[in-house]
Amino acid sequence: MQVAELKASRDPVTQQTYVPPRPLVADGSLREAELVTVPAQGVLFSYTTFQNETYGLVDLDCGTRIQTLLEPGTERIGERVVSYTVDEKGQARFAHE
């Protein structure tokens, strides 16, 4: 199965990556960010459960930390997680590899 791609943007000078994408970089320079995609894979940093949904902070391989939905049973902090699908809203649901 192929890993899903997330829409992102990247600062062409510093190479900082933003997920979700943003039109301008974060340093206040008004420099435009370039649109890119990044693999939906990384390491689970932390998680919490709220209203029967599990959410996690995932350190993507591209260097960006995102908050995302987790599949049930994905609670082993420090282990690799991946998403193979992204819904119509651009939301991925990660699970252990």
Predicted pLDDT of residue 58: 98
Task: Point out the least confidently predicted range of 61-65, 70-74, 85-89.
Answer: 85-89
Of the candidates 34, 41, 2, which has an alpha carbon nearest to the alpha carbon of residue 18?
A: 34
Domain that holds residue 83: 5-96
Place of tokens 């260097």: 63
Give residue 47's pLDDT. Answer: 97
Residue 53: which CATH number?
A: 2.40.50
CA dist., res. 35 & res. 25, Å (int):
11
Q: What single-letter DSSP state applies at residue 31?
A: P
Say how many domains are in the chain.
Answer: 1
Chain mean pLDDT for the chain: 95
Cα pseudo-dihedral 39, 45, 50, 52, rounded to 10: 60
The answer to whether the predicted template modeling score (pTM) of the entire model surpasses 0.95 is: no
Chain CA centroid to CA 11, Å = 17
